[in-house]
Amino acid sequence: MMNESAPMSLGIGVPTSFLCDSFRLYGMIHPSRDPNQRPSTGVVMLNPGPTDRAGAHRFSIKLAERFAGMGYPTLRFDPRGTGESEGDWDPGFDGKPILNPYDEVERGVWIPDTHAAIEHLIQASGVSSVVLGGVCGGSITALLAGAEHPRVDGIFMIGNPVTLSRQTLTDVSMLPQQTLDGEFRRYVGKLLRPSAWMRLIGLRTDFRTLWGVLANRARLLLPGGRRGLERAPVEALSPPFARSFQTAVLHRKRLLFVYSTNDYHWHEFQEYFLSTRSEIERRAFELSCIADANHNLTEERWQEELYGILLPWQRATASRGATQ
């Protein structure tokens, strides 16, 4: 058995392609490199959003190499309309805010692409089951696509959004209070910076966010203001996320959430999701946090900590799948 904690040489995988509907999708398969293990489980890694399959700072390549080194063939691919793949999943987004396409990802636009990728990896590598996962948009796609798929044993979700991006884009008050408090401190810290005042005078400030943060702070100063701002957390949850989580639990999928503590998605997860879960539901998933890390885990030490969480979880998930 190979040492899963040892760093791997950075290969890029073997080129591959497959069809989804009428589109040809392109990707890379990282074959198993453990000669002592006959793989029965593979991994399909999903793009964080409308970006290519390498991931931020080539993170998806690095993680795929780790999985392959453990003996699990891993597929990275570009869903339709991204990277090298064919298709326009919604050409109407051209020129619109970037959070709009993320909103579509969070509603499941790439579910068919993911199902096609699962079948392709099974046929290409001979595995009988897969684990799905990714960062941000890739994590929610994994949950939406894998919640009831019969070949999916587990789902890992890194920085998973539990609200809809378009909702927070149009309504600042939907942001978690911890995030709004942080934004207020950030604006206060800019008061003595001439460049910030020049942006304000030049009308280059994000006024929607600024007014929303200031309005939130003003309401907090009123008697009972913080209680007045409280909403039922379930109202803020993304309906597709909430439904898919319940479905995944019902189908006994192995679930892992991983969050960076400096990621506002972590604030959302705590405020809108954890606070609504029963004790039974909390036992249905695993949760790990990486202290002080940012959303994209840009520093190597944060990535190494993530590997230390994901790789043992992957081995345990594969082992459980093999005994079922």
CB 39 within 8 A of CB 72: yes
Instruction: Please name the residue ranges forming H helices in the chain.
Output: 59-70, 99-106, 111-125, 137-146, 165-170, 177-189, 194-201, 207-220, 225-229, 233-236, 239-250, 264-268, 279-282, 300-323
Q: Write down the pTM of the prediction.
A: 0.78
Using CA atoms, how far apart are residues 73 and 31, in angstroms rounded to an integer? Answer: 4
Q: How confident is the model at residue 26 (pLDDT cuts 50, 70, 90)?
A: very high
Counted residue by residue, the chain has a size of 324
Q: How confident is the model at residue 30 (pLDDT cuts 50, 70, 90)?
A: very high
pLDDT digits (tens, 9 = 90+) for 94-110: 445 556 777 889 999 99
Catalogue all structural domains in the chain, each as residue range(s) with its CATH number.
14-163+237-323 (3.40.50.1820), 167-229 (no CATH)
Q: What is the pLDDT of residue 165?
A: 76
Using CA atoms, how far apart are residues 310 and 313, in angstroms rounded to an integer? Answer: 5
CB 322 within 8 A of CB 40: yes
What b/e readout covers 60-74, taking b as 16+ CB neighbours within 10 angstroms?
bbbbbbbbbbbbbbb
Q: What is the pLDDT of residue 186?
A: 66
Residue showing tokens 């959070």: 99
Query: Which residues have CB under 8 Å from 80's CB, separation 6+?
Result: 20, 21, 23, 25, 86, 87, 88, 89, 110, 113
**For residue 251, pLDDT beyond 90:** yes
- State how far Cα 4 lies from the chain centre: 23
Mean pLDDT of the region 196-207: 62
Q: What is the pLDDT of residue 151?
A: 97
pLDDT digits (tens, 9 = 90+) for 54-94: 888 889 999 999 999 999 999 999 999 888 999 875 545 44
Q: How confident is the model at residue 196 (pLDDT cuts 50, 70, 90)?
A: low
Mean pLDDT of the region 104-127: 95
Q: How confident is the model at residue 46 (pLDDT cuts 50, 70, 90)?
A: very high
Name the β-bridge partners of 105: none
Q: Which residue has the higher pLDDT, 163 or 157?
A: 157
pLDDT digits (tens, 9 = 90+) for 178-195: 555 565 566 566 666 776
* Amino acid identity for residue 71 in this structure: G
